[in-house]
Structure formats: structure tokens, C-alpha cells
Structure 1
Amino acid sequence: MSLVKDISAQAAKAAKVLALLDTESKNNVLKEMAEALRANKEHIKAENESDLANARDNNLAAAMVDRLTLTDERIEDMAVGIETIADLDDPVGQLRSLGERPNGIKINKMRVPLGVICMIYEARPNVTADAGALCFKSGNAVILRGGKEALASSKAIASVLHSVLEKHNLPTALISVIPDPDRGLLMDLMQQRDTIDLIIPRGGEGLINFVTENSTVPVIQHFKGVCHLYVDKDADLDVAMNLLLNGKTQRTGVCNALEGLVVHQEVAEAFLARAAKELEAKGVRVNADAQAAKFFSNANVIGDDEFGEEYLDLEIAVRIVADFDAAVAHIDRFGSFHTEVICTKDEQTANLFQRSVDASVVMVNASSRFSDGSQLGLGAEIGIATTKLHAYGPMGLESLTTEKYLVNGEGQIRS
């Protein structure tokens, strides 16, 4: 049996053990995992530093290095995220009544784990803790295949979580790390449809495309995050400025950062004159259509087909539109089904925007940076689905379960 096939088989076996574990026991394990991360943070940071040294030697992009870096604060965030998951309602076993049929049979649906989740990711070591905790609470085993950039960090985090599983006599195969980043093992992993129920890739567009094209296991897709802020003619421009600066500059190398600014022509002069000063002060490079470019001293004029880029940097694309419909059309063409924001004081316009725009998260007068599982009350997220089967948007506990029918009768037979 190959290494990957063995790991997958052990994970499937472990998932059956976890599926029967009660909520209180799962929560106790999770709380101990959080404390174990805190207690072992120096070891985790030491292993992370070896990954960072390799990243610097290999001239890894700044956005990737940012995602790779583990600090005391980020390790604490992982621990708090696990504790938050422990405090959330357990979806496993929840019942939903579908009523009673005329013949007397009673029909319910019950939430159950998916089984084995496979995470394929690049320079995101926090995924090890986030995915491990989310899958554990939702009754799933998880197989983690991180990129070589984060391998030492991921193994260090997993070893801490394993120590808690062992203490509670639970199989460590519930949280498995593929120990070798060899591409051949990845190809093998994506063919284990008999034991793996779902693959969730997290990383750049190239990784998502590769997994989607080569996997025989169902894949949750999230190709990129091209998020827009639309400043409506009825916007509070002070609010709009705060949304722009927070969404673009608070943290650039993440998928919920703003990449596009769309401004109604009636407020373009008032807003963009201010935005030019603020963005320049923050060091943001501006790409703009010819109409918007005149408000910026050093804007790069771009053509109609050059919008829709995911910069993951201090860079943004700006367009002036004639009306609401033109704003929605721009977002439909260049958005990535991730997160879209409108700033407006008009409730009717806000409601129309939320109904019209096709994105997994549509916000009114709130920063795109809130498009995150922890910020939306899910605890940590395992990923963001920008396709619609079977989840859409940040995926928390419920997205890692499905429903099965429970049918109870008293001997009825079909005539």
C-alpha cells in the first residue's frame, strides 16, 4: 500500500471513531488543544523560522511570506479560534423535521459528518490548526497537504494537536499531515476517492486550477479574491473613505482585501480628490480608467480588459461609472464571487445591491475585511467557497456536514 493510500485509509477509519464522540468530549479536547498551542509556541515559532529562512533563500513573494509567518499574536489567534469553535453549537446530530406522510411514516433529516476532508494549501501554516479543529468538531478526519514552504511549521502544529489526541486515546490519524511535498504524492492523494470525501485547496489560482483539473474527488473552489467597493451617489463619503482604507491597506496579502474601487460619477470628484491624497499617503499604486486617472498624480491608465486583477499588494484599480447598473455590471464582469461592498445611505439601493450582486458575501457599509469565518461568527474557517455546491462563502462547521434522511414507520409497506 502506498504512503498516501495508507494515510487515507487510516483517516477514514479514524473518522468512524470520531463520528460517535459526544459534543462535550469533543469540546474538552479542543480546549486542551488551544492550551497546548500556547504552551508550545516557542517550538512552533522555531520550526516556522526554518520555513521563513527557506522562503527568504528562495525569494518567496511578500504576500506568501506574510501568510507563512507565525508570531505570538497569530499563534494566540489560532488558540482563540479553536476555543471559539469549542463554544459553537455542534451541528452533528441536529434534526430537522419534514413532517409525517399520510401513511404515517415520519421523516426527519439529521446532520452528519462528510467523513474525510483533504486540505491542500501553500504557505498557510495556520490552516493546520484551523482545519484540524473545524474538522474535529464537525466529526471529520482531515488530511493536510501543505506546500514545502510551510511543512516544518505544519508538522510542528500537528504534533501539538496529536499529543492531545493521544492523551484522550483518540487516533492521531484524525489530523494527518502528508510528510513529503513531492508532487507525485499530491497526484496520488487526489485519486483517493474511495476514502476521501472532499478536497479543499487554499492558495493561489494556479494551485486551485491544478487541483480542480486533476482530482477525482469533489473539490471546493476558490480561485481568487477580487473584491470591490462601490461608492454610491448617496454614500457617506467619510464612511466610504474608512471602508476603502481598511479594505485596501489594513492587510494586503489576503483574499478579502479590496482590489477594485468603483465610484458613481455624481460623487467622483468629491470622493476621488480625497482618496488620491489618502492612498498616496499609504503608498498605494493606482490603476485607473482615463476618467478616474485625472484625479491622481501618478495613476497608471488601464484599458477595459485590464480590470479584475488580484494584486495582493498596495495596489488598486479604480473606475468611475455612470450609475448603479453600470457598477453592478462592472462587478459582474470583473468580480470573483468572493466579497462585494456598497457604501450608501439609501436603504432601497443597498437592498437592490445585495439582491443583484452575485458574490458569496455582499456587504453594506462594512469593510470587506469582515469576510472571514471568525468575523462572521463561524469560529475559524476551513476555506471560502466561490462556487455554489455544496457551500457558498466562508465555510464553518455546518458546511463540513451534510444531511441524511431518517424515516420511522410502524410496518408500513408501499402498495
Structure 2
Amino acid sequence: MKRILSALSVAILAVTASILVFAQPASAAAGLHVSGRNIVEANGQTFVMRGVNHPHVWYTNQTNSFADIKAAGANTVRVVLGSGKRWGPSNDVAGVISLCKQNRLICVLEVHDTTGYGEESAAASLDEAADYWISQKNALSGQENYVVINIGNEPIGNTNAAQWTSATAAAIQKMRSNGFEHLLMVDAPNWGQDWQYVMRDNAQTILDADSRHNTVLSIHMYAVFNTAASIVDYLNRFQANGWPLVIGEFGWRFNASEVDHETILSEAQSRGLGYLAWSWSGNSDPILDMTLNFDPSQLTTWGQRIVSGAGGLKATAREATIYSGGTSTTPPSSSTPSVPPTTTPPGGARGCTATYKVVGQWQGGFQGEVRVTAGNSAISGWTVTWTFANGQTVSQAWNTTLTSNGSNVTTRGVSYNSSLAAGASTTFGFLGAWNGTNNAPPVSCTAS
């Protein structure tokens, strides 16, 4: 949703029409592709998107955000680009793809200029968006394992939303006739929220328009989806018909009229649906920022929920196997670690334990995670310390306040995870460097 420039106010229209449809056939495409309801990689491994949106076109200097989004646990980043009609043009597509690949992220690229077409006079059409992708074909060809092309963001507003079906089908066909083999993503009308159910009721027409049978539908969930019933009903329609769907944008319930993000997260997990939260930072309405000023050490309430909460990135994201030698990995690892975890002795009354493990390791770098667990009684604070024995250093940490003095590292809880009920746990993570040996150090946990 284009929250950076303006807020959209919509009314919910109750429509109950439905159509008889059949499941989409499996794709024959190489790279990322659709198989039934699922997105799969070239090796047949199911890939479930877990990521965030990054407003790149307005903040092209924030290239560190790709590494920060990866460190937050994401396996996917949806990158805002401009065609030149309203923003951009984004002629750095090759560089964006390189940043995604360097940080082991699947790259969803979207043209934002189409937002609200038909209602927003400056918006680009889907046909113009397709022309932009054609102009960038040299950068995109050969990247089918890594890139999803989201043809246009929220491509129709609330004026004549019915035009979405023919415009979307034509854009897909234009992409295919120009040789694009990529997985395509198409957003719903009504500023992405489909409250008139045009996408829901014409989904099969759109899927059938793709000669490669390689299109995934995308719903954006904001104020229209402010009840569990509205979310569950919408998702049920797609699941029952075997249509591939992702939740390409959603926000959080910062007031009672906003989206029920808890239901979105739980339903996405139970149904195996991908989701991409809006957005990493940079909104003029900062209530939707996940970080303050693009600083990953300053996660907002929304950022904390998506990164570390139930159903969030760290709990559910699995890195694409194209980055990990063809095997699925635990979030957010870069390779299968060989370093065994170390644990403090069991915590007693008002005590705590800590477990250190390497969740991803590559040449010269690694990602660590520490789980802190309260003992028999609730605690109001915790401190975990360790000493590296092999010259390792820490460059970045999240969900903790970390200080280091040479090889000695001290970490403490932050405002939202210092207090733990008896037996409850929290985790924090960090990025580090190593050379030669990366043994897990003994850790010590003390509670207050």
C-alpha cells in the first residue's frame, strides 16, 4: 500500500459471488515456479516467502538494508522500483538483484508507479509497467532462480476496478510474448485489497492467461481485513480452489480499525502461505515502520512482532535452497552449521540458562543465536556473557544490548524481552567474523 504519500480510506463491500474453478496445473518453467497452490524452486523444493518490503526507489542509498533484512531472519525482500512515470526510473535493477543474491534473499521486484491506476491520475498502467520490465530484460534474464517479477503494485484503485481482469491478463501475456520465463506476481485491485472481490472472482481467468502457468496472486491486507472472519473467508476461497496466493503487503493493528495481523500470521503459517510485511522503514506515516531510520538496532513494536514474534521471520523463514546446496535450512541460516551448541547449567529459582549456537556459517562470517530461558521463577532481567577462544568478533546484534571488550562479550535484555515468566524463553542473534576456527564458547547466564 502506498502509505508513504497518502493514506487510503475504503469501505468494505459485502459481496458473496463465487465461481466454479479448477486447480492450476503445475508449471513447466525453470527457476521459481508455481506448482498447484505452492511456489517451488527448480529442484521441486517448496519455498514459502517470509519477508518484508523495502522502499528502495525513494531511498536508493539504503543498500545496507538488504543485509539488515536478512539478519532479521527474512528469506525474501520485496523491492519498490519506479518505471519513470512517477518515480525513478529504476535503472539499477542488476545492482538490486546482486544485493539480494549477496544476502541470500529471494528478490521480489515491483513497479510502484501503477498504484491506484484509474483513481490516481498520475499512475502508470499495467501495460506501461510491462514496458518497463521489457526495458530491463537484460538485467533480469537468467535470474529466474532468484527473482519474482511483481508486474505492478496495487494496479487499479476503486474506480472501475473491473478493468483489472483484462489489464492484468494482457500484461501477463505481454511479458510472456517478450520471452520472460520468471515467476510473475500480480496484485489485486482496490489499492491491493480486493474489497470488491474482482481478483477473487476472476482468479482462474488470470491464471489461465499465463501460457507458462507461472503466476501467483497477491493480496494486500490493511483496514479492509480488520476481522479474523474477513481474513479467513478470503483465504478459504483461494485454498478451496487451489489458487496460488501470497500476502504481498500487510500492516498491524495499531488501532481497532486496522488489520488483524495476528490472524494473518497464524493463518499464513497454518496454510503455508508466503507473506511480506510493509515495510522496513521510510514511511511518512511512521506507524508502519519496522525500524527507526533504517536502523536494525531500533526495531519498532511492529518490527519486533514481525522479526521475533510467533509466526514471525525468525520462527518460520526457511532460506531458499538455491543458496544452501539444495537442502532446506532452519531460519535464517546460510549453511548447515557444524558447531555444537553450548549451554549454561540449569537455572534454579530466579536463575536462567542460555544456549549458544551457530545457525549459519560462510567463509569469514557467521550468524549466531542465543536462547535465554528463565528458571523456576520469573525474572525481570538477564545477562549472558561469553569469551571467544578463537579470535571471533561480533559486528551486529539484534534483540539484545551487546558490548564487547576484546574477546569478552556481554549481552543484556532489552525493553521487550528482559522480563521472562518462569520457564519462558527469548532469543537474540548476531553477525560475526571468524578465521580458521569457530568453536562455540561456553556461555553464562545470570538473572535479576
Instruction: Report the TM-score, using the length of structure 1 for normalisation.
Output: 0.29
Task: With a CA cutoff of 8 Å and minimum separation of 6, indicate the structure with the bigger relative contact order.
Answer: 1
* Bigger Rg over Cα: 1
* Larger relative helix fraction: 1
Instruction: Report the TM-score, using the length of structure 2 for normalisation.
Output: 0.27
